[in-house]
Amino acid sequence: MADIPSEDLKQTPLYERHVTAGGRLVPFGGYALPVQYPTGIMAEHKWTREHAGLFDVSHMGPGFLMLANPSGDAEADHAAIAGIIEPLICGDIAGLKPGQIRYTLLLNAEGGIIDDLMVARSPLVAGGLYIVVNAGTKDNDFALIEKAAGDKARLIRADDDYALLALQGPEAVNVMAALIPEAIALGFMNYGAFEWGRDKVFVARSGYTGEDGFEILVNRHEAVALWDELLSDPRVKPIGLGARDSLRLEAGLPLYGHDLDETVSPIEADLGFAVSKRRREAADFPGAGRILAEREGQPARKRVALLVEGAPAREGAEILNAAGQAIGVVTSGGFAPSLGRAIALGFVPPQLTAPGTKLQVSVRGRAQPAEVSASPFVPHRYFRKSA
């Protein structure tokens, strides 16, 4: 049984709310955060899939990268700021429209993934980008971005002065309609700034559960008021990290530090879509040689989704072929509440990645049947506007 965390953990602006709600606090990315509330992971997971779940994701790393000396010409300033961040990542930032968000990857020179992140073009400020990186990697990520910026741009970290809330699920849009009606006009992977309370909030139509929903960056002094107002809607319940993980796993979304690390390339990770066409053609991103060669040929391994029979196969479990030989490893796995069975993500040789391929996983020394599945396990329900 886990001990109560004794190390020095940071608290988010919503810490007291989690304690009052009976959240079971655990250390995560250096913060004390609720793994679950009293109703439990199963109920929280299902509530999010059917109604709307509210998550405190303030441990993540939001920030703004602003051109130091903007010219005032919006397109020229955007091109300039894109030119600062693009050498670190494989996404097309220059091509973003105001308010548009791109999922992209910070890469090392060998084409390994330093982090996965969101980069968005500010709808307000010429030469401004809104960036959200992962909690466990944020200090290193921000240091890399600051180094690339030099004196040409300024990075403003927002992780200490703001809270980040995620409202996810099929009823999230109706909840948002009552709170900030203008925000429901946003399409998937777009954001805007809206008046709420005494300040502006930044609302993105995004998330990591596979559901429609919003991520809201709010000044830390307004965070509790926003949390309370969202929870006053009977369609909304607070959801802990446990269900956040089972939701993203069912959505087939990789988790940095587990499914992705500095040895894994975007092609191996089945994130080829994150290598934007313009960048591919220019071959002007870190590790382009390896990544483009893997894209044309075969990577050594590839991330797959697995339906597992019997006990859950957790991170570190070996993946075996039908003959029982070890061919790969599970990088995240667990029980899928929406499917009522065990599922996993892991890496196997590329010739064994076709959906329906029969494999096995080794759990506590015993081989259990597993089958390669199409990904996502549970269909995404993002709100995509036709262009």
Partner 1 sequence: MTTKFTPDHEYIRVDGETGIVGITTYAQEQLGDIVFVELPAIGKVLRKGDEAAVVESVKAASEIYAPVSGEVVEVNSLLTSEPGMLNSAPEGEGWIFKLKIADSAEIDSLLDADGYADLTL
Annotated binding site for substrate: 215
CA distance 305 to 319: 12
Give the binding range for partner 1 (CB under 8 A) out of 77-85, 115-123, 261-269, 306-314.
Answer: 306-314
4 binds partner 1 (CB under 8 A): no
Provide the pairing of β-strand 162-168 with 52-56. antiparallel
Angle at 262 between CA 321 and CA 293, to 5 degrees: 70
Q: For the CB of residue 342, give the shortest distance to partner 1 in the complex, in Å.
A: 7
Cβ neighbours, 10 Å, residue 352: 18
316 binds partner 1 (CB under 8 A): no
Residue among 364, 365, 386, 387 that touches partner 1 (CB under 8 A): 364
Report CA dihedral (188, 138, 127, 193) to the nearest 10 degrees.
50
CA distance 376 to 362: 23
387 binds partner 1 (CB under 8 A): no
53 binds partner 1 (CB under 8 A): no
Phi and psi at 278, nearest 5°, equal -60, -40
Strand partners, 215: 166, 204
Angle at 220 between CA 17 and CA 97, to 5 degrees: 120
152 binds partner 1 (CB under 8 A): no
Helical ranges in 150-287 per DSSP H:
172-179, 220-231, 241-250, 277-282
Q: Which is nearer to partner 1, 35 or 306 (CB)?
A: 35
Residue type for 275, please?
A: V
Residue among 118, 342, 370, 378 that touches partner 1 (CB under 8 A): 342
CA distance 240 to 44: 8
312 binds partner 1 (CB under 8 A): yes
CA distance 82 to 194: 24
74 binds partner 1 (CB under 8 A): no
Residue among 242, 252, 254, 299 that touches partner 1 (CB under 8 A): 242
Q: Tell me the Cα Rg of the chain.
A: 21
209 binds partner 1 (CB under 8 A): no
CA distance 212 to 133: 20
Q: Are the beta carbons of 246 and 45 closer than 8 angstroms?
A: yes
36 binds partner 1 (CB under 8 A): yes
Question: In 3D, which of 259, 269, 293, 287 has the Cα closest to residue 89?
Answer: 287
334 binds partner 1 (CB under 8 A): yes
Q: For the CB of residue 163, give the shortest distance to partner 1 in the complex, in Å.
A: 25
Coil/strand/helix, residue 355: coil
**Token pair for residue 237?**
């319940």
Give the binding range for partner 1 (CB under 8 A) out of 11-19, 68-76, 215-223, 305-313.
Answer: 305-313
181 binds partner 1 (CB under 8 A): no
Give the binding range for partner 1 (CB under 8 A) out of 13-21, 33-41, 57-65, 85-93.
Answer: 33-41
Q: Which is nearer to partner 1, 158 or 344 (CB)?
A: 344
Coil/strand/helix, residue 162: strand
48 binds partner 1 (CB under 8 A): no
Q: For the CB of residue 341, give the shortest distance to partner 1 in the complex, in Å.
A: 9
Q: For the CB of residue 16, give the shortest distance to partner 1 in the complex, in Å.
A: 22
Residue among 311, 367, 376, 381 that touches partner 1 (CB under 8 A): 311
234 binds partner 1 (CB under 8 A): no
Give the binding range for partner 1 (CB under 8 A) out of 93-101, 192-200, 263-271, 330-338.
Answer: 330-338
Q: Which is nearer to partner 1, 84 or 247 (CB)?
A: 247
Upper half-sphere CA count for residue 31 (Cβ side, 13 Å): 24
Residue among 103, 188, 194, 335 that touches partner 1 (CB under 8 A): 335
Convert residues 261-300 into a mask of x (bound to partner 1 by CB under 8 A) and - (unbound). Answer: ----------------------------------------
CA distance 183 to 186: 6
C-alpha separations of 287 from 16, 38, 86, 146 in Å:
44, 46, 13, 20
Q: Which is nearer to partner 1, 21 or 311 (CB)?
A: 311
CA distance 171 to 291: 39
3 binds partner 1 (CB under 8 A): no
Q: Which residues of the chain form contacts with partner 1 (CB under 8 A)? A: 1-2, 35-36, 40-43, 45, 242, 245-246, 310-312, 314, 334-335, 337, 342, 364
